[in-house]
Each structure stands twice: as C-alpha cells, then as structure tokens.
Amino acid sequence: MVSTKILFNHCYGKYAIAAVNVFTMEQVHGLFAAAEHSNTPIIVQITPAARNYAHAEMLMSMVKAAAGIYSKTVFALHLDHGVEEHIYDAIDNCYSSVMIDASHDDFETNVKRTKAVVEKAHLKNIMVEAELGVLSGVEDDIDIDSSHASYTNPKQAKEFVERTGCDSLAVAVGTSHGAYKFSGGKGLQFHILEQIQNELPNYPIVLHGSSNVSAKEVEEINRYGGKLAENASGVTDEELKKAISYGICKVNIATDLRLLWTKIHRRFFYETPELFDPVVPGKAYMNEYKNFMLERFEVLGATGKASSII
C-alpha cells in the first residue's frame, strides 16, 4: 500500500489511475487480480454506503487479505465521498487518502470543512481529496438532480486549493454519477478542464462519474430481462485519454462494475434456471471483472506502471 501522492506524482500528465469502488469480496478479488496480473497501480475506494453495507472492518480485512494474496499489487486505499464521521475513522485506520465531499455546501463552508479535515489528515500523512462544483446523478444514497448541478469555476478552484491545502481536487466538468450521463448530450467540458489546469498547473485533478456505460452491456442486460433505458451512456475512451493530458490523475469507476454484476447475474438466472449456487455467477463475475479492469487500465495508459513506482 502506497501514498496516493506517490501515485499522482508518477502519473501526472502521462496516465491515470483507476479508482474503483468495492462493496463485495468478488469485487476485491477481481480488482486486485487485474492489478497484479497487469502490473498496474490502483486506488481501492470505499464509500460510506459500502461501509454501511459490508461493515468498515469487513472491508478493511478484505483489502488486507487481498494485499497478501495478490502481494505484488501497488495500491492506495481511499475513502470516497466521506463526511467527517467516516473521515476521522478512516484517518485512524490509516487509509492512504480521504475525500471530504462538502461540494453541496456554499464556498466558504466547503473551504472551512475541507481545511479542518486537511489539518487532521496531514498530521498522519494522509492525503485529502476535496470537491468543488456539483455533479449530478445517482451514487449510492446520493441523488442530485441535474438542475442543482454546476460546473467548477477555475478561478475559485485555485483559491480553494490555496486556502484549504487539499492535495487533489474533484471537479465538475460535465460527468455525472450513474448510468445516465450526458442525457442532455453535452459531454466533457474540455475548455473548463484546460482553464483549471492553467490555474493549477501540475496539480492532480480527479474525474468522478467516469464509467463508460457500454451500449453493448446495456443491451445484454436488457436481453436477459433488465429494463435499463435506451439513453444510458457514459464517458468514451477518447474523452478519458484526452482528459489525462489536462491533469486528470484519478478516474473514478463504480457504475460499470454494477452493470457487469447485473449482466452476469441476470444471464445466470435466465440461462440456468435450474441452478441455485452463488459460486457459479460469483466466479464468472470475478473473471469478467478482472478482464474488464485489464481493458480499462489499457485505456488509461496505466498498464505495466506499478513496478516503476516503488
């Protein structure tokens, strides 16, 4: 396990690290297996919802076990979308980094809450990701209507980083959480990303809502009885590759692995209604998860980079 800072110093402007939310044992196996197999650095993300579902100690034990089983993996452990209660617990438990998400507060409150977290986290050498601007979409138990979303203001971003001392910044540049990004058809706002990079050169920027939401996966899910809407869509590989040159170091992915879970389990129930063994779809999920992540690492240019970090 390494510091998130080390990962960002290594990748800035060249490639991006996949930061993947894990909820279950199968996901932890799939992620670590892919990372070790391809010598790729990863960020393992835990959300408050995951902690409520599986328990913080269970998740920590699974990550520790995976670090032993896949012992060549280079990874950081990150708390995604934290509030103070979870953040201070994550700091006590020596996560590599924590996110304080006060993006829904007004600017001054966001600065105040972020700065307080930074002061505590830095005492333990733990990095802090903050967020400025508001992403729309659904993630775990957060649901933000697009009318309440707003892009990051680049000038404010510089002031925010200077005043809070946060180590990386999640920005709102057109993506949203969940399977229905860009329903309004706008896509990633590269001109805003460029302005942010001009204001904050060499500073690691984080892209939330980075799932690809492949049309093929959506079609498969619906073929096996799912009811996802036609307008499900995500960030294209070309957009992700281009974003890296604008300082995007961390690419957050959760929805794609939920879609994969749904496809595999729907297919299992549809094709083999006589079976009732969780191991069968579980194994298929671990394997396909690994393959999916191998392909994402390639897109992000991160494959093969782990051993040169340490």
Query: Which residues are tagged catalytic?
Result: 80
Q: How many CB atoms lie within 10 A of CB 140?
A: 17
Taking the complex as a whole, the smallest distance from the CB of residue 68 to ligand 13P amounts, in Å, to 26
Q: Does 305 help bind ligand 13P (rule: CB under 6 A)?
A: no
Taking the complex as a whole, the smallest distance from the CB of residue 253 to ligand 13P amounts, in Å, to 5
Could you tell me how far CA 221 lies from the centroid of its own chain?
A: 23
Choose between 153 and 252: whose C-beta lies nearer to ligand 13P: 252
Taking the complex as a whole, the smallest distance from the CB of residue 114 to ligand 13P amounts, in Å, to 17
Euclidean distance between CA atoms 246 and 201, whole angstroms: 9
The two tokens of residue 74 are: 């280079």
Size of the site for ligand 13P (CB under 6 A): 14
Taking the complex as a whole, the smallest distance from the CB of residue 275 to ligand 13P amounts, in Å, to 30
Could you tell me how far CA 4 lies from the centroid of its own chain?
A: 13
The two tokens of residue 273 are: 């209604």
110, 164, 195, 211: residue in contact with ligand 13P (rule CB under 6 A): 211
Taking the complex as a whole, the smallest distance from the CB of residue 27 to ligand 13P amounts, in Å, to 13
Q: CB under 8 Å to 154, separation ≥6 — which residues?
A: 192, 195, 196, 198, 199
- E strands within the chain? 17-21, 42-46, 75-82, 97-100, 127-132, 137-139, 142-144, 168-171, 205-207, 248-253
User: Which one of 23-31, 48-56, 193-201, 247-255 is the stretch in contact with ligand 13P (CB under 6 A)?
Assistant: 247-255
177, 250, 263, 290: residue in contact with ligand 13P (rule CB under 6 A): 177
Return the C-alpha torsion angle 246, 30, 67, 205, nearest 10.
Answer: 10
Q: Does 254 help bind ligand 13P (rule: CB under 6 A)?
A: yes
Choose between 48 and 209: whose C-beta lies nearer to ligand 13P: 209
Binding mask 63-82 for ligand 13P (x = CB under 6 A): -----------------x--
| Site residues for ligand 13P per CB under 6 A | 21, 80, 139, 177-178, 208-211, 252-256
